[in-house]
Structure 1
Amino acid sequence: MRNSNLETKIYDVYWEGPYSLDIITQDKDRDIAKEWHCLYQIYGDHPTYGRDVLLYIGKTERDIMKRLSEHYNRFSNQCDEVKVFLASFGEFTSWKEMRDRNYDPISKDNTELNAIESLLIYAHQPAYNIMSLSSNKFDNLNFRIFNTGRRKSLMPEISTQFYRDDRGFAE
């Protein structure tokens, strides 16, 4: 298997929510959308997939309120209000350390954030992430994601080793 001798990092992606899009975009006091939030997932109704399904996974290296306000027109006209979950991530070391103190979120301006978003989309196939469904930005990386907190329908653990297409490479 390609890259099997590389270290496998583990990231904890901690999800919070659900929040309405209106509440987040009007959160002037920053009680909900914090500066360290860099990932989000949006749930709502879909004509083919049903009610309260994962519609979109996204990331931002900018302010998350500004990024979600760009989605406002697309999602505010849904029949029912959409639910938004926000997340930050950090490198996982141990469950004890996670209980004893919170990790420092990793900088939003890095390739790790792009790779994490890419793996989340590739593994969960949200209905509105059409452009990102068939590509990945984690091909040369080994890492696992623990989705913790209010993860909704996301799998609790995913890895690049499982989703990477290594067919055609000699072992």
Structure 2
Amino acid sequence: MTQQQLIIHIDWDGPYSLDQINSLTDNKTEKGVYQVYGTHPVYGKDVLLYIGKTGGQTFGKRILQEKWDNTNNYGDIKIHVGRLAGSVTPSNDIWLQEIDLAERLLIYAHKPAFNSMSLQTVPHHDLCNVHILNWGLFNQLMPEVSGLRWTNILDSMPNYEVYGEH
């Protein structure tokens, strides 16, 4: 358990309407993870519905592919986009890998209603050393999310007990 932590900084911006998302098409900067907010029949108005990733596409292209404009709350949909940040831009392969890790850990920790398929399994072992720091307009997300906390890596800690019991 002494492996190096991968710290992923995400700089969040928004909210954007679906019409405004069209403008986020710069291939150099407009990729990362995103949050979709709207009305849910059980949880109410302006709640986190979905967390997604762009992969190698831009926010403008990927989000519009999901057809959020065909939902009952089209005018209610608000989107926050998260661009990964740091001191050096990594290679494209590393960047896409970090986007994938960030999306998976954020989904598991926040449990958005429309990501139900992604919640059926405990996160993979590769998330245990991921630590996400959310900056900017991250809305209803937690400011920090740790893979140590949200994976089952600590479930088998030997001799775990409350201090002073023995």
TM-score, normalization by structure 2: 0.80
Q: Following the alignment from structure 1 to structure 2, what is the Cα–Cα distance between the partners of residues 122 and 135?
A: 9
> What code does the residue aligned with 1:13 have?
I
Deviates more, 1:41-50 or 1:4-13: 4-13
Deviations 1:67-107 (A, max 9, x none): 1111234555416421001111134xxxxxxxxxxx44445
Question: Is the counterpart of residue 45 in structure 1 residue 39 in structure 2?
Answer: yes
Cα RMSD (Å) of the superposition? Answer: 2.2
Question: Is the counterpart of residue 156 in structure 1 residue 160 in structure 2?
Answer: no
Aligned positions, number: 152
Q: What SS class does the counterpart of residue 69 from structure 1 fall into?
A: helix
Offset of 1:9 from its aligned partner? 2.1
Q: Percent identity?
A: 37
> What code does the residue aligned with 2:17 have?
S
Over 3 Å counting, the alpha-carbon distance change for 1:157 and 1:64 in structure 2 is same
Q: Following the alignment from structure 2 to structure 1, what is the Cα–Cα distance between the partners of residues 155 and 135?
A: 34
**Contact conserved, 2:21 with 2:59, CA < 8 A, in 1?**
no
Q: Following the alignment from structure 1 to structure 2, what is the Cα–Cα distance between the partners of residues 15 and 105?
A: 17
Deviations 1:99-133 (A, max 9, x none): xxxx4444554322211110000000001001111
Structure 2 counterpart of 1:100: none
Offset of 1:166 from its aligned partner? 2.8
Structure 2 counterpart of 1:143: 130
Q: Structure 2: where are the runs of 5+ without partners?
A: 159-166
Q: Following the alignment from structure 1 to structure 2, what is the Cα–Cα distance between the partners of residues 129 and 122?
A: 9
Q: Following the alignment from structure 2 to structure 1, what is the Cα–Cα distance between the partners of residues 92 and 49?
A: 23
Deviates more, 1:15-24 or 1:67-76: 67-76
> Match for 1:113 among 95, 99, 102?
99
Q: Structure 1: where are the runs of 5+ without partners?
A: 92-102
Give the structure with higher Rg (CA).
Answer: 2
Over 3 Å counting, the alpha-carbon distance change for 1:151 and 1:106 in structure 2 is farther
Q: Is the helix fraction higher in 1 or 2?
A: 2
Q: Following the alignment from structure 1 to structure 2, what is the Cα–Cα distance between the partners of residues 79 and 88?
A: 24
Structure 2 counterpart of 1:12: 9
Over 3 Å counting, the alpha-carbon distance change for 1:127 and 1:86 in structure 2 is same
Deviates more, 1:131-140 or 1:146-155: 131-140
